[in-house]
Amino acid sequence: MTAPLSISGRVLVLGEGRDEQRFFSWLLGATGCADVQVLEYGGKNNLGAFLKALPSVTGFSNVARLVVTRDADESAASAFQSACSGLRSAGLPVPTELGVLGGADAGPRVAVHILCGDEGLGALEDVVLRAVAGDPATACVDALVACLADRGALPVRHRLGKAKLQAWLASRERPGLQLGEAAQAGYLDATSAVFGDLVRLVRDGDAQ
């Protein structure tokens, strides 16, 4: 994934892929975040190259805040360090803490937001699972996971959230949608407290 031809938002949010771009566009639009542009960088292995190309894109000089999101996968700490390494190589401000804006007066302030479950591993799907925890269908998903575990058929631990969310999405009126499509179809609540840190970081520059 190459950098865009131009940037129009004062706040720039980067997601791993097209599905994340759809999801964040829905979430931030539904929660009143203004002047925000969401871009995809084409997967974690392409983040460094994408960041290096970003400062030369028309309109980047007008960006006041840059929020880089990334799945934790096997470790939130490792994902944060990887994202910071990409920022450093690109000559962009590097935050000292997860979810906190860093940077000087010149150029954009930059934050890294890692998407994971409660144990510091996983992905965006693990965040969404917390948001739908009260839905009756989650009990059925838990039963399915228990059945798969009994048969030794579970995916690796850090990908379990993806499998569980796909099972939950299969219970909706339109099964088979990707996460971003499901959000746009109205199957999720953008006001869930689970999404609060990211929304505040983008809207107010403060995740606390």
pLDDT digits (tens, 9 = 90+) for 45-99: 999 999 999 999 999 999 999 999 999 999 999 999 999 999 999 999 999 999 9
- Give the pLDDT confidence score for residue 179 in this predicted structure: 97
pLDDT recorded at residue 205: 79
Other CB atoms closer than 10 Å to residue 78's CB: what's the count?
A: 14
Check residue 159 and report its DSSP letter. Answer: G
Distance CA 14, CA 33 (A): 15
> In the predicted model, is pLDDT for residue 170 greater than 60?
yes
Task: State how far the Cα of 53 lies from the Cα of 65, in Å rounded to an integer.
Answer: 17
Spatial contact of 117 and 71, defined as CB atoms under 8 Å apart = no
Alpha-carbon gap, residue 203 to 32, rounded angstroms: 8
pLDDT for position 118:
87
User: Is the whole-model pTM more than 0.85?
Assistant: yes
| Cβ atoms < 10 Å from Cβ of 32 | 9
Q: Token pair 């965006």 is at which residue?
A: 124
